[in-house]
Amino acid sequence: MFRKLHEPAEAVTVYVEGKPVVAEPGENLAAVLLRQEAIWSRPTPVKGSRRAPYCMIGVCFDCLARVDGVASVQTCMMPVRDGMTVEHQQRRRCLPS
Amino acid sequence: MSKTDLLIVGAGPAGMTAAITARRYGIGVLVVDDQTAPGGQIWRSVETQAASERGDILGRTYQDGKATTDAFRASGAHYEPRTQLWQVEPGYRAFVSHDGKARTIEAKAIILATGAQERPAPFPGWTLPGVLTVGAAQVLLKTAGQIPAKPVWVAGCGPLPLLYIVQLLNAGGQIAGYLDTTPAGNHWAALQYLPRALRGAGALLKGLAWKAILRHRRVPVIRHVVELEAHGSDRIESLSYRTADGREETVSADHLLVHEGVVPNVHVPLGLGCAVEWRDQQDCYVPVLDPWGETSKAGIFVAGDGAGIAGAKAAQCRGALAAHRLAVQLGYADEQNMLKDASCVQKSLARELALRPFLDTLFRPRSRIFSPTDDTVICRCEEVTAGEIRAMAQIGGCGPNQIKAFTRAGMGPCQGRQCGYTVTRILAELENCPASEIGFYRVRPPLKPVTLGELATLDQEGEVV
């Protein structure tokens, strides 16, 4: 887990898996995910193994998550916004039977 | 659609300096960058953090970036942050996306200043949550003011791990230990280049000062680490390492930060069909460039670390040189006057480049990362192991593109940015030939994933795709 060095002067709320979490305007969502107890962002589509932010510059795609209902968003490239929802995205899409 | 004389991709040291220089000639400049603010990776968040406590933690080289971002903001260049380039067509027409909307930009010339990424350095367990690159941890410090909550392991080779350890200690963080993977023979091999490197003695002294801080702060340093492995089920729980003299140890680990140097981002030049060549000393491909940075495609320039790793000062020089050259090509300056202005930049660039043979040899990565064990995942996206690549290559005559088709390595969202070099090196080893003969994945558009919804917005501007 990571920790902030300072108390943010301003704060917004983002919802990680439904849980309200404090975030600082200007930071990106991946930074918020790395401050959580469970640091993972997504299961892989092939083996379902957990991944978390790795490169923080948009070249590894391990920080993908469902953001405001949109899947496969690069959270390391996405600045936080008040009220944003982040969910671990599903493994593989299946058609409902 | 918009039109511009010059499109610059990337707002790091090279892109900003190219823009500032081009604007002095009166060239119309549009800069697109995928980050939220100018500065590139080295100066991430410098506009807001240079004067803060965080700026002091990060150091002078970081804080100095503010002068360049200020000059860039004042240059009159049109700047579009959070804008990703995903295709360039001849002519030139660039396709970019911003906030879920795509559009095209017509430009007479393009400077690609897309910088570098950390070299993919696969080892067993490198995909576990809790394993990050050193660069990633540094970005988190710059942009979010955050550090690992518990003592952190750092493993790798190069100046960046030393710099980050110093910054982390400044910030009140703790290092569990530094696993220095620099191969034992590098120091001797690098000595021959030292006299030439003394032209850039300032940078060398900085490196020595960082090492002194590590000693003074009693950071545990384990030298000549040749093997590294991270263990855990849902996240890293422990790591093991082995040194060149056979010492093995397994220790508990909350986080592991890794770094084995950086390589140029060559996806855009490759996608455009620009000629590239293998640079053995830096273990990577670089675009073939003339002294001004022009690629094999007229009007397409590469500046900064994307042209070959040389650091931020060299990046600024290369950005300026590309802009000087374009001023003549686009009819904004006559050659004689331009050459006078450019000559001091050329001298500065030569001084910066004089350092490279020494640094590249000193920090040449260990051989294991180019030849991972069979059980190591090398394609993070599709979870393909080195063993699967080797098994497929045994069929014979496979190039990187056949390997991609057979195994799906390189087909995931990162498009080979994490596995491309490893596949090339594994094939080179099996074929017993230089990496230059193997080549690289064929890079196709879109260069970054684009949604159907984004593509559909192109229609709104009357474009026919």
CB spacing of B129 vs A46 below 8 angstroms = no
Sign of CA dihedral B319, B320, B321, B327: positive
- Mean pLDDT, range B166-179, rounded to an integer: 97
Q: What is the pLDDT of residue A97?
A: 61
Q: What is the pLDDT of residue B179?
A: 98
B34 part of contact set with chain A, CB < 8 Å: yes
CB spacing of B414 vs A1 below 8 angstroms = no
B23, B71 contact by CB (below 8 A): no
pLDDT at B397 over 80: no
Q: What is the pLDDT of residue B266?
A: 95
A72 part of contact set with chain B, CB < 8 Å: yes
At B117-135, the pLDDT tens digits run 999 999 999 999 999 999 9
- Mean pLDDT, range B134-149, rounded to an integer: 98
Among candidates B48, B136, B383 on the partner chain, residue whose Cβ is nearest the Cβ of A54: B136
CB spacing of B130 vs A46 below 8 angstroms = no
C-alpha B129/C-alpha B150 separation (Å) is: 15
- Range with lowest mean pLDDT among A10-14, B105-109, B311-315, B451-455: B451-455
- Range with lowest mean pLDDT among B127-131, B248-252, B442-446: B442-446
List of chain B residues whose C-beta atoms are within 8 Å of the C-beta of residue A35: 146
Percent of chain A whose predicted confidence (pLDDT) is above 70: 93
Per-position b or e across B68-103, b if 16+ CB within 10 A of its CB: bbeebeebbbebeebbbbbbbeeebebbbbeeeebb
C-alpha B291/C-alpha B187 separation (Å) is: 31
List of chain B residues whose C-beta atoms are within 8 Å of the C-beta of residue A79: 36, 82
pLDDT at A93 over 90: no
Which domains does chain B carry? 2-117+263-333 (3.50.50.60), 120-260 (3.50.50.60), 371-437 (1.10.10)
Helix (H, G, I), strand (E, B) or coil at B3: strand
Among candidates A26, A46, A54 on the partner chain, residue whose Cβ is nearest the Cβ of B133: A54
* pLDDT-derived band at A53, boundaries 50, 70, 90: very high
* β-pair partners for B7: B30, B110
Q: What is the pLDDT of residue B269?
A: 96
The single residue listed with the structure tokens 């906030």 is B99
CB spacing of B136 vs A79 below 8 angstroms = no
- Taking alpha carbons only, the member of B78, B92, B67, B69 closest to residue B32 is B78
Q: What is the pLDDT of residue B289?
A: 98
pLDDT at A91 over 80: no
Residue B310: CA count within 13 A, CB half-sphere? 27
A36 part of contact set with chain B, CB < 8 Å: no
* pLDDT-derived band at B199, boundaries 50, 70, 90: confident
pLDDT at B279 over 50: yes
> Closest Cα of chain B to A62: distance in Å?
8
Among candidates B139, B413, B418 on the partner chain, residue whose Cβ is nearest the Cβ of A57: B139
Task: Please name the residue of chain A whose CA is at the shortest distance from the CA of residue B170.
Answer: A5
DSSP assignment string, B79-90: EE-SEEEEEEET
Helix (H, G, I), strand (E, B) or coil at B355: coil
ipTM of the complex in this document? 0.95
C-alpha B22/C-alpha B39 separation (Å) is: 18
Q: Where are the alpha helices (DSSP H) in chain A?
A: 29-33
A35 part of contact set with chain B, CB < 8 Å: yes
Q: What stretch of H or E contains B30?
A: strand B29-32
Q: What is the mean pLDDT of chain A?
A: 92
A86, A34 contact by CB (below 8 A): no
Q: Where are the alpha helices (DSSP H) in B5-126?
A: 13-24, 46-49, 53-58, 60-63, 65-73
C-alpha A67/C-alpha A70 separation (Å) is: 5
At B345-379, the pLDDT tens digits run 999 999 999 999 999 999 999 999 999 999 999 99
Percent of chain B whose predicted confidence (pLDDT) is above 90: 94
At B215-236, the pLDDT tens digits run 999 999 999 999 999 999 999 9
* pLDDT-derived band at B299, boundaries 50, 70, 90: very high
C-alpha B235/C-alpha B306 separation (Å) is: 33
* pLDDT-derived band at B201, boundaries 50, 70, 90: confident
> Closest Cα of chain A to B166: distance in Å?
16
Cβ neighbours of residue B423 closer than 8 Å, sequence gap 6 or more: B378, B379, B389, B400, B403, B404, B409, B410, B416, B441
Percent of chain B whose predicted confidence (pLDDT) is above 70: 99
List of chain A residues whose C-beta atoms are within 8 Å of the C-beta of residue B381: 44, 61
Per-position b or e across B200-216, b if 16+ CB within 10 A of its CB: beebbebeeebeeebee
- Taking alpha carbons only, the member of B131, B383, B235 closest to residue A91 is B383
CB spacing of B34 vs A62 below 8 angstroms = no
List of chain B residues whose C-beta atoms are within 8 Å of the C-beta of residue A64: 413
A15 part of contact set with chain B, CB < 8 Å: no
B170, B147 contact by CB (below 8 A): no
List of chain A residues whose C-beta atoms are within 8 Å of the C-beta of residue B139: 56-57
pLDDT at B463 over 60: no
Which B-chain residues 42-101 have CB contacts (< 8 A) with chain A? 45, 48, 53-54, 57, 82
- Taking alpha carbons only, the member of B429, B224, B413 closest to residue B421 is B429
- How many CB pairs (< 8 A) connect A and B? 120
- Mean pLDDT, range A28-32, rounded to an integer: 97
Dihedral class, residue A16 (left if φ above 0, else alpha if ψ from -120 to 50, else beta): beta
Q: What is the pLDDT of residue B310?
A: 97
Q: What is the pLDDT of residue B465?
A: 42
Q: What is the pLDDT of residue A96?
A: 67
Q: How far out from the chain centre does Cα B323 lie?
A: 22
C-alpha A15/C-alpha A19 separation (Å) is: 5
- A65, B79, B111, B276 from B29: Cα distances, Å: 35, 8, 10, 26
* pLDDT-derived band at A41, boundaries 50, 70, 90: confident
Q: What is the mean pLDDT of chain B?
A: 95
Sign of CA dihedral B390, B394, B400, B402: negative
DSSP assignment string, B227-284: EEEEE-SSS--EEEEEETT--EEEEE-S-EEEEE-EEE--HHHHHHT--EEEEGGGTE
Going by CATH, does the domain composed of A12-87 fall within 3.10.20.440? Answer: yes
CB spacing of A34 vs B412 below 8 angstroms = no
Q: Which two tokens stand for residue A61?
A: 């795609």
- Taking alpha carbons only, the member of B398, B119, B19 closest to residue A57 is B119
